[in-house]
Amino acid sequence: MLRLEDVPHRFNIASYFVDRAVDAGQGDRPALHTDAGTTTYAQLARLVNRVGNVLLELGVRPADRVLLAMSDGVEFVATWYAAQKIGAVTAEVYTYLPTKDYAYFLSYTGAKVVVVDAVTVDAVRDAVAAGAGTDQEAARLLVVGAEPRAGEHSFAALATAASDELEAAATGRDDVAIWKFTTGSTGAPKACVHPAHSPLLSFDWYARGVLDLSSDDVVLPVPKLFFGYARDLAALFPFGVGGAGIAFAERSTPERIFELIGRHRPTILVNVPTMMAAMVAHPSAASADLSCLRLCTSAGEALPPELARRWHEAFGVDVVDGIGSSEAYHIYISNRPANRPTDQPTDQPTDRPVDQPAERKPGSLGQVVPGYTARVVSSDGTPLPDGDIGLLEITGDTVALEYFAAPEKSAATFVGDRTVRSGDLFVRDAGGDFYYRGRADDLLKVGGVWVAPSEIEHCLLAHPDVLECAVVGYSSGGLTLPRAFVVPRAGAAVAAADLQQLARTHLSPHKYPRDVRFVAALPRTANGKLDRRALRNQ
């Protein structure tokens, strides 16, 4: 297992994850599959260099922020690595935000260059025109796939004219390189500030140590690349072993995912529970051929055990459920693949121990990823015994340095040396397995007893006609009571009374939802997570 002290003091992310493959004679290997075709490592490296020279021409210098507001594709990946290669700091945002949100990100990041495409350019222009930020003059908008206006710059024109030779900046392993935004589910998104060593350690500990990623792997992400969970697993971790990723510009739908699996035959599907539920319920599920997949990862939100069972019944694909956060860079607790080989992969160094499969326990997120330690603590940081519910603390060398420009929040969250105290509630059992029990700020006090909404949700999901559900609290007569929002299966005629009786049968009497509302869909954040704030306002 790689340790921080093993990382060279001079370390450049682009040199390691892109140029190294070319230097090793693997330039002809596929790096990225898109609708436009396959991009090899050599082609990607040349485009990275051209875009790096473009960014330098536009005035980007080491430690400057480059904001990516663009759809997934070769240009996204090349621009991300180009910024890393010249020593800039990358930050990415969703492509379907309103103008006011882009205005926030422009002001917050103070980005030197904002890279936009046809989907985002109008909203970002409006944000710039409204005076957002201090450095976002129109001249520093780099436009992909659309006609630039006066003072803006064409990505294609500048990249075509630029040199494909570029020396990597002499960046260090501890230099700030990446901003990963929080989801904004409890306030405005905050940037978790990460040094260059975070992605390398996460690659070694999780992608290699848990998933056993190899050069044979092709990774298809369901979330878009602005979400670090997807970006790392599809366009960073595979590059570290000579594998390949898949990128597509459109929103993810079950139809599109099934089509991409059929076309590219990936070995790993990077998924979230919402899409897993939609794929299981889709009419094409019965005929879909997912036999190419050796595993499907799940993260971003809790995976209900009933959904995991339905997924495996429908597709026979192993689900490796895990949890991570922007604060700790990536996944830090995870189950292990059921079909992990017991021998060291032949194309990997033999001095790295490979974590072995552990017995799966229903509802468990598994055990800590190598390189991390985890404990369950009370609100004041006191360690709790196994079996007690408390807050999760994670310690490891990928923990962020801070939230940018938020010292009070940073002090409350980053509570010790390389330690982050999350707002997630967990239980650890005697065997070292961790069980998610919801967010601390989601707990409901019903009849004087704390209730985790996830417990009610998982119970209701056991009903065969329930596709998705979410539970929040509402006030009635001065009391807090559970309300369930339920997405039924298409054509189902499930009744509220049936669900209430199901909860009464399997849960303590005070936990059943007093109000059940049927909806067509649950509100989601840009990262695909459940938006409980929106539900509480309904």
Range of lowest pLDDT (121-125, 133-137, 499-503, 517-521) = 133-137
Is the CB of residue 256 less than 8 Å from the CB of residue 107? no
Strand partners, 295: 268
Are 72 and 247 spatial neighbours (Cβ–Cβ below 8 Å)? yes
Q: Which helix (H) or strand (E) holds 459?
A: helix 453-460
Each residue's pLDDT tens digit, 206-232: 999 999 999 999 999 999 999 999 999
Does 139 have pLDDT greater than 50? no
Residue-wise pLDDT for 156-187, tens only, equals 999 999 999 999 999 999 999 999 999 765 56
pLDDT band for position 358 (50/70/90)? low
* pLDDT at residue 341 greater than cutoff 90: no
Least confident span in 7-11, 145-149, 450-454, 503-507:
450-454
Predicted pLDDT of residue 126: 93
Q: What are the pLDDT digits (tens) for 475-507?
A: 888 889 999 999 999 888 899 999 999 999 999
Give the fold, CATH level 3, of 443-536: GMP Synthetase; Chain A, domain 3 (3.30.300)
Q: What is the pLDDT of residue 493?
A: 86
Q: Is 38 exposed, middle or buried (0-12, 13-18, 19+ CB in 10 A)?
A: middle
Question: What SS3 class is residue 48?
Answer: helix
Average pLDDT over residues 420-444: 92
Please tell me what DSSP assigns to residue 344: P
Model confidence at 138: pLDDT above 50: no
Q: Rounded distance, CA 512 to CA 457, Å?
A: 10
- On the question of pLDDT at 120 being above 90, the answer is yes
Q: How many CA atoms lie within 13 A of 199 on its CB side?
A: 32
Query: What CATH architecture is 372-438?
Result: Roll (2.30)
Q: Is 397 exposed, middle or buried (0-12, 13-18, 19+ CB in 10 A)?
A: buried
Assign 345 to helix, strand or coil. Answer: coil
User: Which phi and psi angles does 443 have, rounded to 5°?
Assistant: -60, 145
* pLDDT of res. 351: 45
Is residue 270 within 8 A of residue 234, CB to CB? The reply is: yes
The sign one gets for the Cα dihedral 70, 71, 72, 73 is negative
Q: Which candidate, 296, 232, 233, 235, places its Cα nearest to that of 261?
A: 296
Confidence band, pLDDT 50/70/90 cuts, at residue 348: very low
Q: Where do the H-state alpha helices sit in 250-333?
A: 254-264, 273-281, 305-315
pLDDT in tens, 365-407: 999 999 999 999 999 999 999 999 999 999 999 999 999 999 9
Lowest mean pLDDT among 5-19, 296-310, 335-349, 418-432: 335-349
Share of the chain above pLDDT 90, in %: 80
The CATH H-level (homologous superfamily) assignment of domain 4-334 is: ANL, N-terminal domain (3.40.50.12780)
Per the CB < 8 A criterion, the answer to whether 149 and 161 are in contact is no
The pLDDT assigned to 2 comes to 97
Give the mean model confidence (pLDDT) for residues 92-96: 95
* Of 307, 303, 241, 302, the residue nearest 268 (C-alpha): 241
The answer, yes or no, to whether residue 344 has pLDDT greater than 70, is: no
| Dihedral angle sign, alpha carbons of residues 17, 19, 25, 30 | positive
Helix (H) or strand (E) holding 420: strand 419-428
Please report the DSSP string for 193-219 in residue order. Answer: EEETHHHHHHIIIIIITTS---TT-EE
CA distances from 213 to 186, 243, 400 (A): 34, 8, 24
Q: Give the global pTM.
A: 0.89
Q: What is the longest distance spanned by two Cα atoms in the chain? A: 71
Number of C-beta neighbours around residue 359 at 10 A:
10
pLDDT for 273-297, tens place per residue? 989 999 999 999 999 999 999 999 9
Q: What are the boundaries of each domain within the chain?
A: 4-334, 372-438, 443-536
